[in-house]
Structure formats: C-alpha cells, structure tokens
Structure 1
Amino acid sequence: MVLRADRQGAAEHGHRITAAIACHVARAGCTVDELTRLLLHPDHEGGRHARNIALRSGQSRALAYIGRVWASASFAVSNTTMLESRHHTYEVLAALRDRIETTPWRGERGRTALRVLRAHLNFAEIAGGPLHHASERQTAEEAGISRTTLRVVYETVLKPRGWLRRLRVGHGREGSTWYLAEGSPDRHSIPVAQSRFRTTQYPPDLALEEWPTSETDTTADLDSTVIGRLMGYDAFARHGLGSAALVIIGALHARAAQTVAELAGSSSVSRATLYRTLRRLADHGLVHHSGETWALAPHALEGFGDRPPEAAPEEIVEPARGWEAVATRHGTAGVASRRKAVHAAERAAYQRALERLSEHRSKAVVIVRDGRQVVVPAPRPDEVPTAWHAPDGCVLDPVTGSAAPDWRIATDGRLILITPADQRSYDELAAAHAEARSEWECAT
C-alpha cells in the first residue's frame, strides 16, 4: 500500500535538502561549479531535486535554479555566525544584546522596534542561539503591541536594517523561523516616501516619526533586560505611559542620576518627548529629580512610586501602587489579556480551518493489484436511519422534519455532504463511489 505522490511536499522537501547542501558547500569555501557537479551527479542522492528539474524543464532551468540557491546560500553563510560551543552562543547573544542597548532607537517607531527586537532576543536566548522560532501573535504578546504595528516595524525598520531575517514562514502550529543578526543603525537605509506637500511640518525621517537631533544621534545606553521585563505590562501600552517611558526607565536603570541632556543621548528620546514623559513618570512617583539630575524611585521597577520628603506637594499627584494601578489610571488595563484572548480565538479558528482543509484534501490510499493501482474507498459517515430517508435521495432533518438541502443519501445508505466546494454533482459522486467500491471488491 502506497500513498499518492504529493508533488508540492516533495518539491519543498527537495529544495530544503538542496539549500542545506549549498550552505555546507559555501561554508567549505567551494564554488558554484563544484556545487553544480555535485548536485547533477547521478549517484548523489541529495541532488535528486535538481536532476528532476533538469529532466522536466531542461538543463538551463536546472542551472538557473542551482545559481539562485547558491546565491541565497552564499548570502546566508556570509551573514551568519557558526556557533562552536555553548559558551560561544552566550558570547554571540551577549554581543547582540550589547549592540541593541547601544543603538539609538529614535522616534516612536524606533522604540517600538526595540521592543520587538528585545522580544526576539528573549526567544533566541530560550532557543540557545540566534536561530529561533516565533509567530507574529507570540511576538506581539511578548512585546506588548498589536500585530498590525508588529508588521509595520518588521517591514520598515528591523528587516531593512538587517536586524531580523525570516528564513521560513510558519505554517500550522509551527511559527516562522527567524535569524537574529547585528543590524545597521543608519536611519537613511530605509527608503521613505516624501511628503506630497514637501513642507517642513513633518519630520524628514517619516519611518521614525520624530525629528532627529544632535543629542539623539549619539550612542545610546540602555538596560534592555529591564525593557524586556516591563514591556508586556498594560501600563506601557500606546495610550498609557508608552514606549518612551520604557526606554527612559531602561536608561536610568543603566546609569542613575542623569541630566536631561544626558538622558536625551542615552535614551535617544527628543527633549520635548523627554520632558513630557518625565513629568508623567514623576506624577506617579516613579522618578525623582534632584537639581538637574533625574533618577528612578527605589521600587520603580515593580511599579511602586513614593513621595520623597523634599518633593513639593504638587509634584507628585498620586504615587503608583503597581503597574496594574498605573494601567487602570491611564485606561489601558486589560489590553494584554484582550489581545491574548483575540489571538487565542484566531489560533482556534485557524486550527479548525486547517482541520477542515486536511479532511477535504486527505491523500487517497491505493493498493497495487496486478500492476494496477486500485483506490481504497474513503470511509463514509454512519448509515442514515430509515426514518430519515426521503424521496430522491434526500435526508429528513430529525428536528424539523423537512428535507436538509445540503445532505444526500449515497447508494450504500450513507450520508454525503454536498457543499459549494465540491466539484462534482451528487450523481457523479455516487458513480465514482460505486466504481471505487467495485474495484476494491474485485481486488480483494
């Protein structure tokens, strides 16, 4: 008994094998000509996919395919790091974390990109290397943002600058395969459409949605671990404290007692946004200023503010009592739980769709009899009780007593569901079933 060939699945499997061989050849320092000779050699099992292309479409198409695979493999090998040991893995991830913490993340979109990148770094640390798996919903929940915002950040910041590469799109229960790399902080590497009016009322860097200044162009100094720990709270949602408060807390935790000018450089936040956000944090008692310097409250990372003795009564409106209380005060409480509920419903609906698709496109099972392939009839639902029979092969609804338009009775007395997706009529289905059963009985 054999399964009917699944050409698409076989092609995808063959391509993955070919790509893996190409990467190995590229790492060994060989050339595309050597890869071509290897794949087209008749005794090499790994080159079956390339040889099938040559047989079906000609030698030139096969050579062009090998050239494309080689180009992708060469790019991947030149932009990835071979991990020699667990200690080396820790060093690579630590270097990535240091690069993330010292890169200026200017503008609202830049700060959102920092949250997404920190989420992927969390996944990479769990996976034990830059190569990791993560779905969009999983990343959005980890970063505390919506999927729409996540996709925008992927396409405008992280992927164009080389911080993230999606190696394979996820399917079913498996998330996408990502590779975390050291990106470029150059803001001019992102092509952004100019304003149609070409006026000066919009920032020149629309991808970041903020005016860059000489202060925010300097090297940043953040504690991304703190950012990764706090970014999932509702208090840091878009309509709450926001991402600006997140990076300011990360900057003050990395280095306490900073002036506004120093904070503008270490957090890459413009002065206007910095003053506004510090005022909001001070209202909760999460930050204090002494003279010209600002510092975090003793328990600010837990969301608890306090009122120092030297503070004026009007400086602190109400000390915070946890991040949930801060979220409630800003009207963002429950955002994360609602997002997770929506994602859970989407996952369930997607899984049901996959199950229906799998049932509709299940592989036919055949047996070989006297050199012929005989299709094994697919199992039918339970037989229809006699009381449900109606003239012309219809089925009576046991609740209403009327004929159910979507159901028919097959010649063997079993149910057949007729849907718009069916490509054959009831008579054709019945004839095909009778023919398959006849062949099956003759073969057995």
Structure 2
Amino acid sequence: MALAVACSQPGRAWTPADLYEVLVHRPTPAGTWARSLRARKGTDYTVAKLADILGRAREFVARQPLIEQRTDAIVELTRLRDTIEDHPWRGRTGGTDQKNLTARLRLCELSGGFDHTVSVRHLAELMGCAKSTAVTSNQRLIELGYLKLIRVGKKTEASRWQLAAPTFSTATHRRRAFPAHPLTDRDRGAGSVPETRRLHVLMAHDAFHAWAHGTSGARLLAALDETEGVGTAELACATGLHPSTVRRRLVALIDDGLADQNEGLYYLTATAYTYEEKCQLTQAAVSKRTDGYGAKRKLRHAHDRAQYAKWQAFRAERRRADRPRPSLVPEGVIDPESGELVDFRWSGWHLSDPEHPTWFDDTPPRSAFAV
C-alpha cells in the first residue's frame, strides 16, 4: 500500500500494469510478496489484488490536501500551529510538550514541510530542558498523534520525524479565552503574533530554566502584550495553568522587570526582551543564578557526541583488527608442501577455503567423518 501511494502521487500516476511489472516481473525486494502471491493463487488473482490496492491508494491520495510548493506547506504548518495553540496543555508535562512542538514547528518551517530531522540532544537544547525530558515528551506526543517517528537515527545521523495533526476535534479542546495579541512596533507586518512564536524565543533562555521562572513563566510571558492587558483568569484559561501558579509566576516576572501590573491587568514591559540581545532576560537569569546553564548543556552534549564518535572509531578498529578466525579444517588434513589430501575422511570435500569447506553434492553423507 505504501508503494501504491507513492506511485499515485500527482504527476506520476502508475497504471495497474506498471505496478504489476515492477513487483512481479522484476526481482525487486519489494515485490517478494507479490511474486509469492502469484505462485500461490495465480496470475489473475494477483493482477486483481494489485489493481484493488492501487485504486484504494488513488482514493487516499485524492482525499489529501495537495502541496505543490513551499507556500502550501507553510499554510498547512500554520493550520497545525493553530491546532497546537488551541490544545489545552495542562500541567508541567503539557508545557514541556508545547515547547517540544514549538521547536519542531520552527524546524519544519525551515525545511519547508512536516518532515524534519533532529537529534534528542539538539531538541533538548532548543527546548531548554534535559535530554531525558525531551525523550519522555516525544513518547507522549506520539501517543497524542502529534508526532511520528519515520527513521531512527544511527551513528552520527539524527532521527527523522514528522509532525501530524491529531485525530480528535480541536473544537472540544479549545481553551483560548482572548484573541491573539496585536503586533508591537518591533514586529514587522500586520496581523497577530502566535503564542508559540513568542515561546520559541523565550523557552531556551537561561531565565526560564527549571530553577528560575520555568516553563510556566515562559508561557505566561509569551501570552502577555505591551498594550493589551490580560487578567489572571484569562491567563489561566489560555495557558492551562492553575490560577495560583499564574499569580505566583507573575509576581516573580514583575520582580525581575519582565511584566507590569496596572488595575488588575498584566502587561509586557517595553524592555522585557528583544529578538537580538535579550538584555532584560539575561539580567533575570543572573538574579536567579541560572546564567550560563544553557551553554553548559551544549558543552555537555558536545562532549557526549565526541565520546560517542571515539567509541564508534574504536569499535570499527577492533573489527578491522587481524584476529585469528576459526578454521573448520584442522591441520594435517592437507600436505602443506604437495597440497595432497592426507586425511581421507575429508574425501569429497572442497578444501580450498579452510574456513568454509563445501561438499561436492548438496548435502554430505552421514558417514563423511566416520573413522
């Protein structure tokens, strides 16, 4: 079915005869099942079966949205971003999963599609968390249907992933209580800034380490705006955090000069952060004593990669080492000077390769080694 879907894409639609020729008449590994089916049930049954598979594949491809260029892929990613922002990411694990998807959305926008390649260590650096946290988050997202593992990474090659829209209806999971924030003067263009785009700038900073403002602080700061005030109830509904957590995190953000309060509404300070320098965030990280934790994480991951590369080289060197290989033909069977057979118990054997002796016929007799 996967091959039939690939052969049914726009511009390369195969006929049933083409699929039958490739899978049955050619000795390809992918056609082993088709050739076995023809041997068991005949040609007519195999032709009808492959035609039915190709027909269902065409129907499946016709139901999918057509992506012809990079712009179409960006549009689909924008729809997925809206789905992610409408999902109620509750609790600590929910915030971690939201950061995971936020980092992956940025990678998908750079690659121009839902497929992307990223290692666990690089993902942890983008999320601003430990490697084990990123691993458990990947497992939860796979169960939710947001993520699919296409290829497991090997050696120095990272794993290949694919973002996917979940099967549940987003209307039942909608939690946004207020419209998207308007753009400020430093933002270009017109429209609105999605919460995940703000979160992408904040989540890996040292000011939002687990020992500082944390993931909840980054999510709250991403939901604030300089001109549009937001109350604690709206923030709790928008982020999925408990109201007491929202109030506690807002007090910490105000103390570090990242947020302001006016008549019960909270605003983003004008000097909270910039996309280039993040000066105020750096001061907040210094006050929380978490400055430099992200750099230490990157150094640790670089050391792990170097150690893994050294281990791979050592393992390959061991395999290439000249170690004694077992020989099935013992010494004394063949005269080393004349090359004649001395032990006639080995009569009828090809002994040119002592490691792989072969019999003249298909199977040796039971009395081949009889004394």
Q: Which category describes the TM-score, using the shorter chain as reference length?
A: 0.5 to 0.7
Partner AA of 1:338 in structure 2:
K
Residue type of the alignment partner of 1:101 = E
**Which of 343, 352, 358 is equivalent to 2:301?**
343
**Residue correspondence of structure 1 range 89-128 to structure 2 within 5 A:** 89-128=73-112
Gap regions ≥5 residues in structure 1: 1-17, 190-213, 304-319, 363-415, 429-433, 440-444
Question: How far does the alpha carbon of each residue in 1:3-43 deviate from its partner, in whole angstroms, 9 at most, with x for none?
Answer: xxxxxxxxxxxxxxx95x33324557999x9897455321x
Q: How many residues align?
A: 306
CA distance in 2, matches of 1:78, 1:234: 47
Question: 1:97-142 CA distances to partner (integer Å, 9 max, x unpaired)?
Answer: 2222332221111111111111111111111111111111111111
The whole-number CA distance in structure 2 between the counterparts of 1:122 and 1:155 is 20
- 1:278-427 equivalence runs, <5 A: 278-302=250-274, 322-361=280-319
Q: CA deviation at 1:350?
A: 1.9
- Aligned match for 1:168, one of 143, 148, 151: 151
Contact 1:264 1:271 (C-alpha < 8 Å) held by counterparts: yes
Contact 1:235 1:324 in 2 (8 A): yes
Q: Could you say which residue in structure 1 is the equivalent of 2:201?
A: 229
Identify, as 1 or 2, the structure richer in strand. 1
Alpha-carbon spacing, 1:86–1:107, altered in 2? closer, same or farther (3 Å): same
Partner Cα separation in structure 2 for residue 126 and residue 215 of structure 1: 28
CA drift of 1:54 comes to 7.4
Equivalent residue number for residue 147 of structure 1: 131
Q: 1:253 aligns to what SS in structure 2?
A: coil
Q: SS in structure 2 opposite 1:160?
A: helix
User: Bigger shift: 110-119 or 328-337?
Assistant: 328-337
Over 3 Å counting, the alpha-carbon distance change for 1:272 and 1:261 in structure 2 is same
Query: Alpha-carbon deviation of 1:93?
Result: 2.1
**CA displacement, residues 187-211 of structure 1 (integer Å, 9 cap, x when unaligned):** 9x9xxxxxxxxxxxxxxxxxxxxxx
1:271 and 1:37 mapped to 2: Cα distance? 62
Deviations 1:391-417 (A, max 9, x none): xxxxxxxxxxxxxxxxxxxxxxxxx76
The question of 1:263 aligning with 2:235 is answered: yes
Tell me the distance in 2 between the aligned counterparts of 1:342 and 1:75: 49
How many Å separate the matches in 2 of 1:268 and 1:74? 41
For the Cα contact (< 8 Å) 2:178–2:234, is it kept in 1? no
Computed over aligned residues only, the root mean square deviation of the Cα atoms, in angstroms, reads 4.3
Q: 1:74 to 1:109 in 2, by over 3 A?
A: farther
Q: CA deviation at 1:237?
A: 1.2
Change (3 A) 1:215 1:114: closer
Q: Does the alignment pair 1:49 with 2:29?
A: yes
Offset at residue 331 of structure 1 (A): 2.6
Say which SS state the counterpart of residue 331 (structure 1) adopts: coil
Q: Unaligned regions of 5+ residues in structure 2, if any?
A: 41-45, 181-193, 331-335, 337-351, 354-371
TM-fit CA distance, 1:289 = 1.0
Which residue matches 1:182? 165
* Structure 2 partner of 1:23: 5
The percentage of counterpart residues that share the same residue type is 27
Name the structure 2 match of 1:6: none
Query: Structure 1: how far apart are the matches of 2:252 and 2:97?
Result: 22
In the TM superposition, residue 360 of structure 1 has moved relative to its aligned partner by 4.6
Deviation digits for residues 383-436 of structure 1 (CA, Å, limit 9, x no counterpart): xxxxxxxxxxxxxxxxxxxxxxxxxxxxxxxxx766xxx7659xx9xxxxx9xx
The separation in 1 between residues aligned to 2:167 and 2:36, in whole angstroms, is 43
CA distance in 2, matches of 1:148, 1:220: 35
Distance 1:186 1:345 in 2: 44
**Counterparts of 1:180 and 1:302, CA distance in 2:** 29
The aligned residue for residue 243 of structure 1 is 215
Local SS of the residue matching 1:355: helix
- 8 Å contact from structure 1 (residues 223, 254) kept in 2: no
Secondary structure of the residue that 1:132 maps to in structure 2?
A: strand
In the alignment, the residues of structure 2 paired with residue 159 and residue 50 of structure 1 have an alpha-carbon distance, to the nearest angstrom, of: 28
